[in-house]
Chain A
Amino acid sequence: MVLAAVRPDAWNFPLLIHVAGAMVLVGALVLAGSSLIFAWRDGGGTMARLGYRTLLVGVIPGWIAMRAGGEWIASKEHLENSDLSWIGIGFSTADAGAVLIIIATILAALAWRRAARDAGGGALGKIATVLVSILIVTYVVTLWAMTTKPS
């Protein structure tokens, strides 16, 4: 049995922004990934467009909220320069993830435009799908690190 942790009230809002952003980020990644997989299988432009738009209006805003909330709560807890491994995992996967998200969004946009013109784009969509899948796995590991806090 463990004692319930009590955190200062001032930490709650930044934590809410961080967690809500992370949830929207992962939810949107699942929607984008599913749409891109369906586009991959069916070859249609509709699902490719949904995958691209989800990355643009779901994943990117979710990432911004998650990252900003994370920085805010870390500063409240004075953990910005911490050597704790779970903090390191959080910051490194968030920042590396941003690069993959931007690349996946650009590739999904190109894949959708090419699919809409019946000019293929399948390979670009497939690469975007793989990147989104990598991001989902990475953020599950990050979630494990954030909740179990390995030292």
Chain B
Amino acid sequence: MYDWLLFLHVTAAFFLVITVVVLSAPALGYATDKRLLTIATVAWGIGGLGTILFGIWLAIYVRGYEVWDGWVIAAIVLWAGATELGRRAETGFNAGEGEPARARAAMFHWLRTGVVILLLIDMIYKPGH
């Protein structure tokens, strides 16, 4: 049970990074193809839902972890921040209204990338645990 929860949680985290990597192409100006935006949006949907669902399940299931541990709460806050930043980035890229809008969308994308990196560091180091 634990092994499968961990596998599903980590796989979902991979989907979050798939979103970040795929959206880096439009953010860097290498591609404007809407199909890439669709892939990124779907990947964040799967990864976002999977990480929060299986992450909380793991925090409840594993003795020694609690949902109210500082590093778990930090992860939930970072996850919510990344989701909102990503929503703004994807809205901006989808709108495609000139260079200023694209630059603003790219800024939100890079901010989300930073938050996802912090999320990974939090998951590995588990500060306070």
| Residues of chain A at the chain B interface (Cβ within 8 Å) | 1-4, 6, 12, 15-16, 19-20, 22-24, 26-28, 30-31, 34-35, 38, 46-47, 50, 53-54, 58, 140, 143-144, 147-149
Number of chain B residues close to chain A: CB under 8 A: 35
A19 to B123, CA, bound (A): 11
Residue numbers in A under 8 Å from B30 (CB-CB) = 50, 53
Given contacts A16-B120, A16-B124, A46-B31, contact A27 B62 (CB under 8 A): no
Q: By the criterion CB–CB under 8 Å, are A34 and B63 in contact?
A: no
Pick 24 A–B contacts, CB within 8 A, sort by A: A1-B61, A1-B62, A3-B63, A3-B64, A4-B62, A6-B129, A16-B125, A19-B120, A20-B120, A23-B13, A23-B17, A26-B14, A27-B18, A31-B24, A31-B25, A53-B30, A140-B11, A143-B14, A147-B3, A147-B6, A147-B7, A148-B3, A148-B4, A148-B7
Mark contacts of B52-72 with chain A using CB atoms, 8 A cut-off: 1 yes-contact digit, 0 otherwise: 000000000111110000000
Q: By the criterion CB–CB under 8 Å, are A147 and B33 in contact?
A: no
Select one of A24, A54, A143 contacting B11, CB under 8 A. A143
A91 to B7, CA, bound (A): 19
A-B contact count (CB 8 A): 91
Q: Min CB distance, A55 to chain B, in Å?
A: 12
SS class, residues of chain A in contact with chain B: helix
Q: Min CB distance, B124 to chain A, in Å?
A: 5
A144 to B11, CA, bound (A): 8
Q: By the criterion CB–CB under 8 Å, are A34 and B3 in contact?
A: no
The yes or no answer to B21 lying at the interface (CB within 8 A) is: yes
The yes or no answer to B36 lying at the interface (CB within 8 A) is: yes
Q: Return the chain B residue nearest A9 by Cβ.
A: B125
